Structure 1
Amino acid sequence: GPRSAARTPAAPAHTTGLWAATWTASPVTGVADSASGSALHLRTIRDVVHTSIGGDAARITLSNLFGTHPLVVDRAGVGGRPATFAGSHTVTVPVGGQAVSDPVPGAVAPDADLVITLRVRSPEGPVTVHEHSHQTSYLDTAWGTRRTDDWRYLTAVDVHTLTAAGTIAVIGDSLTAGTGSSPDTNSRWPDVLADRLGGRYGVANAGIAGNRVLLDGTGVRAVERFERDALDVAGVRTVVIALGINDVQRSPQETDPRHITDALRSMTERAHARGLRVVGATLMPFEGFRTWTPAHDAVRQRANELIRAGGIYDDVIDFDAAARDPQRPTRLRPEYDSGDHLHLNDTGYRRLGSLVDPASLEHEEPMSDQL
Structure 2
Amino acid sequence: MRSSLLRLSTSLLALSAVVAASGVATARPGGPAADRERPRTGWSAGWAAPVQRPSAGFEPNWAETGFADQTVRQVVRVTGGGTAARIRLSNRYGTAPLRIAGATIARTAHGASVHPATLRGLTFGHRRSVEIPAGGETASDAAPLRLAPFESVTVTLYFRRPTGPATFHAQAYAGSYRADGDHRGDRTGAAFTERTHSWYHLSDVEVTGGGQGDGKARDTVVAFGDSITDGFGSGNDTDQRWPDLLAERLAAAGTPRPVLNSGIGGNLLRHDSRWYGERAGARFPRDVLDKPGVRSVIILEGLNDIGFSEVDLPTYQPNPQISADEVIASYRELIGRAHARGIRVIGGTILPFKGAEYHTARSEAKRAAVNEWIRTSGAFDAVVDFAEVMASPSDPLALDPAYDSGDAKHPNAAGYRRMAEAVDLTAL
Displacement, 1:144?
5.8
Counterpart pick for 2:204 among 156, 159, 182: 156
The whole-number CA distance in structure 2 between the counterparts of 1:35 and 1:266 is 36
Q: 1:325 aligns with which of 384, 392, 396?
A: 392
1:89 aligns with 2:137: no
Partner residue in 1 for 2:53: 29
Secondary structure class of the residue paired with 1:201 = coil
Structure 1 match to 2:348: 281
Matched, 1:146 2:194: yes
2:86/2:207 contact within 8 Å kept: yes
CA RMSD of aligned residues (A): 2.0
Aligned position for 2:153: 114
CA contact (8 A) 1:22 1:167 kept: no
Query: How far apart, CA to CA, are the structure 2 residues paired with 1:73 and 1:124?
Result: 9
Give 1:61's match in structure 2, choosing from 84, 88, 100.
Answer: 88
The Cα of 1:33 is off from its aligned counterpart by 5.5
Tell me which amino acid in the other structure corresponds to 1:298: A
Give the structure 2 partner of residue 226 of structure 1.
284
Name 1:291's counterpart in structure 2: 358
CA distance 1:328–1:203, change in 2 (3 Å): same
Structure 1 residue identity aligned to 2:245: V
Query: Per-residue displacement from partner, 1:37-72 (whole Å, max 9, x unpaired)?
Result: 8xxx42111111011121111111100111111111
TM-score by length of 2: 0.77
CA–CA separation in structure 2 for the residues paired with 1:88 and 1:169: 32
Alpha-carbon distance in 1 for matches of 2:415, 2:91: 35
Decide which moves more: 17-26 or 67-76. Answer: 17-26
Query: Equivalent of 2:297, from 219, 236, 239?
Result: 239
Q: CA deviation at 1:254?
A: 4.1
Normalized against structure 1, the TM-score is what? 0.89
Partner residue in 2 for 1:340: 407
Report the counterpart of residue 207 of structure 1 in structure 2: 263
What 5-or-longer segments of structure 1 have no aligned partner? 1-7, 12-16, 362-371
Q: CA deviation at 1:106?
A: 2.3
SS at match of 2:128: coil
More strand as a share of residues: 1
Structure 2: distance between partners of 1:185 and 1:207: 17
Partner of 1:184: 237
Query: Partners in 1 of 2:392 and 2:172 — Cα distance?
Result: 28
> C-alpha deviations, 1:134-160, integer Å up to 9, x for none?
111101115962011110100011111
Unaligned runs of 5+ in 2: 1-11, 18-40, 56-61, 107-118, 182-190, 310-318
- AA at the equivalent of 1:224: A
Does the C-alpha gap of structure 1 residues 311 and 265 become closer, same or farther in structure 2, counting only changes over 3 Å? Answer: farther
Shift of 1:124: 4.0
Identical pairs, percent:
40
Q: In the aligned structure 2, how far is the partner of 1:341 from the partner of 1:84? A: 46
Residue 312 of structure 1: CA displacement? 2.5
Aligned residues: 346
Cα separation, partners in 2 of 1:254 and 1:194, compared to 1, 3 Å: farther
Structure 1 residues 36 and 189, CA, compared in 2 at 3 Å: closer, same or farther? closer
d(CA) in 1 for partners of 2:200, 2:263? 16
